[in-house]
Amino acid sequence: MTVNPIPPGKLPPEMLKKLLAEYARAGAGVVVGPGIGLDAAILDPSLADEYLIAKTDPITLVAGDIGYYSIIINANDIACMGGTPRWFLATVLLPAGVADLDLVEGIFRSMSEACDALGVSLVGGHTEVTHGIDRPIVIGQMLGTVKKSGLVTASGAKPGDTVILTKGIPIEAVSVIAREKKEELLGIYHEEFVERCIDFVKTPGISVVKDAVVAVGAGGVHCMHDPTEGGLSSGLYEIAEASGVGIDVRAADIRVLPEAFELVGRYGLDPLGCIASGALVITAAPDDAVNIIAALDASGIPAYDIGSVTADTGRVRLIKASGTADLPTFGADEITRIY
């Protein structure tokens, strides 16, 4: 039960001042950061030989660790373009009658944890208690930079490329299911298993920033893309569309994590269509792909050759022992079926 709910509207100034002092630490390039009465950040990106990358994404499916999610999910898309995430702004909407200091401080704390891990500065945003929502919502905006010579996009896949998948799938879906169905699952599985699944957000983790840095450092990356909503299937179709290519993947080589077999299977979901943040899809020429996989493995990131890019524009196929067919598509992420 909420003891001291925060009234609707902006956070009380003294509360916000305390939270910003504790959790919003300015970093390089921040001229004016967050503060009472400061309605916008001022940044000095120094972009002589760099591009500025801008990204926004809302976090709506989870409540626990939502601040951490908001940083990582937005940072992933910066990293997938070969860039470095640097500055973050957050619009935090809190449900009236439920929001208290513990809730809002937990969100700020988890954002701060993720920012510290990635070297990102929380530079501004807006926090408000509002009617009409039943859980916190964080809408994040991430800015990053990339060397002009190092830009990577999802449109760079080339026929003949090897398709690489890191870690396995669907990492984020495992964590979401375990969080949302925790009480039900504790009646079926040992508590250690359920808690391990909840912690998938951090181990193996939904961040692909390190994956991308290692892959780019190994050289030869043509394309990177992280499969989020709609899962690996949607991610592969998006690469095919952006690059004007086809893709063939081998079902036997797509690693579905053991915990996912349990949870996704229990709710009758297809792992190929479940939100899969934490995995990174990379394409590179075959010789370069060997080096990239070796570099990822040496960094403690499992990586798998799951298929190849073809010239069959727009055609994404799943190769099984029983035959080859178009990879299934999903009108909505499979995870939505648990709600």
Q: What is the pLDDT of residue 188?
A: 95
- SS3 label, residue 230: coil
DSSP state of 271: G
pLDDT classification of 27: cutoffs 50, 70, 90:
confident
pLDDT classification of 38: cutoffs 50, 70, 90:
low
Say what percent of the chain tops pLDDT 90: 81
CATH topology of domain 9-150: 60s Ribosomal Protein L30; Chain: A; (3.30.1330)
**What pTM value is reported for the model?**
0.89
pLDDT over 80 at 26, yes or no: no
Start and end residues for every CATH 3.90.650.10 domain found in the chain = 162-338
Q: pLDDT tens digits for 304-315?
A: 999 999 999 999
Q: Which pair of structure tokens corresponds to residue 51?
A: 């591009």
254-282 b/e (C-beta count within 10 Å ≥ 16 → b): bbbbebbebbbeeeebebbbbbbbbbbbb
- SS3 label, residue 8: coil
For CA atoms 329, 135, 69, 26, the dihedral sign is positive
- SS3 label, residue 67: helix
Task: For residues 113 and 107, give the distance between their C-alpha atoms in angstroms, rounded to a whole number.
Answer: 10
Q: pLDDT tens digits for 93-118?
A: 999 999 999 999 999 999 999 999 99
Mean pLDDT for 212-240 is 97
Q: Please give the order of strands across the beta sheet that includes 50-59.
A: 9-10, 121-130, 84-95, 137-147, 50-59
Q: pLDDT tens digits for 70-98?
A: 999 999 999 999 999 999 999 999 999 99
Q: pLDDT tens digits for 131-149?
A: 999 899 999 999 999 999 9
Q: What is the pLDDT of residue 1?
A: 52
Q: What is the pLDDT of residue 196?
A: 97
Q: How far is CA 100 from the centre of its chain?
A: 27
Cβ within 8 Å of residue 166, ≥6 positions away: 208, 211, 279, 280, 282, 296, 301, 302, 303, 304
- Average pLDDT value for the chain: 92
Mean pLDDT for 126-131 is 93
Q: Which residue has the higher pLDDT, 208 or 331?
A: 208
Say what percent of the chain tops pLDDT 70: 97
Phi, psi dihedrals of residue 231, rounded to the nearest 5°: 70, -165
Q: pLDDT tens digits for 251-280?
A: 999 999 999 999 999 999 999 999 999 999
Q: Please check whether residue 220 is in contact with residue 281, taking contact to mean a CB–CB distance below 8 angstroms.
A: no
pLDDT over 70 at 3, yes or no: no
Q: Which residue has the higher pLDDT, 35 or 66?
A: 66
Task: For residues 200 and 178, give the distance between their C-alpha atoms in angstroms, rounded to a whole number.
Answer: 9
Q: pLDDT tens digits for 145-189?
A: 999 999 999 999 999 999 999 999 999 999 999 999 999 999 999
Q: How far is CA 85 from the centre of its chain?
A: 13
Q: What is the pLDDT of residue 39?
A: 66
Domain 162-338 falls under CATH 3.90.650.10: yes
Mean pLDDT for 51-68 is 86
Start and end residues for every CATH 3.30.1330.10 domain found in the chain = 9-150
Cβ within 8 Å of residue 195, ≥6 positions away: none
Q: pLDDT tens digits for 278-330?
A: 999 999 999 999 999 999 999 999 999 999 999 999 999 999 999 999 999 99
